[in-house]
Structure 1
């Protein structure tokens, strides 16, 4: 139950994009709207869909072109033992993605724009222009919502006068 309560604090259903979906035409700007259109047009939506904008499927990292990493992580095949699961990873949610760097399973990329360009190349075989990458990145940033405030209870001071053991 404690984990479920904690996980509720991770949801941010009040991002600018959510407000736009609910009808606030001013919640996201022209660049973010164009980025959303490109996100769909370029095929990103095939893996990053649903309320969490991803997080519900597994896909091969390097679908069109191989992904090279210094990390020895081979993905789900380490668990399943199947060669067909090599470099297959859970598709991450893109909610709050601007806050969750470094990117990819190996943490190799620190820039969201760079991650967008790499994913377009590896997963769809498309080379994005800087303008396209900037617009898609702007859209992704619009998925960042305000985190709920978590109030921790104030505990009373300890009244235990028993000496504490000294650890060496």
Structure 2
């Protein structure tokens, strides 16, 4: 609710200071309209310009042969069941442990909605910049992207991927890193 958002923002002195700096003419800078403006400004910074986008726009040299092979593996494995859309994920909540149970005490979205159908559902992360945004999973328990791919394939798709397929997918995921960010051009075997 609006009231809860404002309550949480005003409880944090850092946010209050930033809102005063961003909206100096407002007597009460921490308000819901300014919150919406701040979120909008932040979201506009999330636009990535990566080599995968160049590829989608017809740049036939934008991706390496290893990244193209990784894209094929990503698609054939079924990763797009959850990771789809413009930001390749980030637009849905899915049960973690869909095929093989994921060991976690965390109830996921059920904690918020109180709906038993939301047990172990978590927001599917977007994959843009994923190669440089570890650790992974909702609890930060997975340290490497390779391990995250392995576990997702097992828990979500019921597949035990060979190391070569994991490396291939991770190589493709490296192409989703914004060209202006520091990070690997590729994060797996070429």
Q: TM-score, normalised by structure 2?
A: 0.73
Q: More helix per residue: 1 or 2?
A: 2
Distance 1:18 1:50 in 2: 12
- Whole-angstrom distance in 2 between the partners of 1:90 and 1:108: 16
Q: Matches of 1:147 and 1:30 in 2, distance apart?
A: 22
2:50 is aligned to 15
Instruction: Work out which structure has the larger RCO, using CA pairs closer than 8 Å and 6 or more positions apart in sequence.
Output: 1
Q: Distance in 2 between matches of 1:50 and 1:28?
A: 19
Q: Which residue of 2 aligns with 1:151?
A: none
Q: Is 1:89 matched with 2:122?
A: yes
* Structure-to-structure mapping, 1:62-77, within 5 angstroms: 62-69=97-104, 72-77=105-110
Deviations 1:16-39 (A, max 9, x none): 111111111111111111111111
Matched, 1:137 2:155: no
Residue 95 of structure 2: aligned partner: 60
Q: Give 1:147 shift.
A: 4.5
C-alpha distance in 2 between matches for 1:3 and 1:59: 24
The aligned residue for residue 26 of structure 2 is none
Q: What's the counterpart of residue 155 of structure 2?
A: 122
* Deviation >2 Å, runs of 4+: none
Q: Residue 143 of structure 2 aligns with which residue? A: 110
Corresponding residue SS for 1:59:
strand
1:119 aligned counterpart, secondary structure: helix
Q: Is this contact kept in 2: 1:10–1:147, CA < 8 A?
A: no
| Residue of structure 2 equivalent to 1:35 | 70
TM-score (norm 1): 0.82
Pick the structure with greater CA Rg.
1
Asked whether the equivalents of residues 11 and 147 of structure 1 are also in contact (C-alpha less than 8 Å), the reply is no
2:82 is equivalent to residue 47 of structure 1: yes
Count of aligned pairs? 145
Q: CA deviation at 1:114?
A: 0.7
CA RMSD of aligned residues (A): 1.3
Q: Is the 8 A contact 2:51 2:179 kept in 1?
A: no
Work out which of the residue numbers 49, 70, 78 in structure 1 matches 2:111: 78
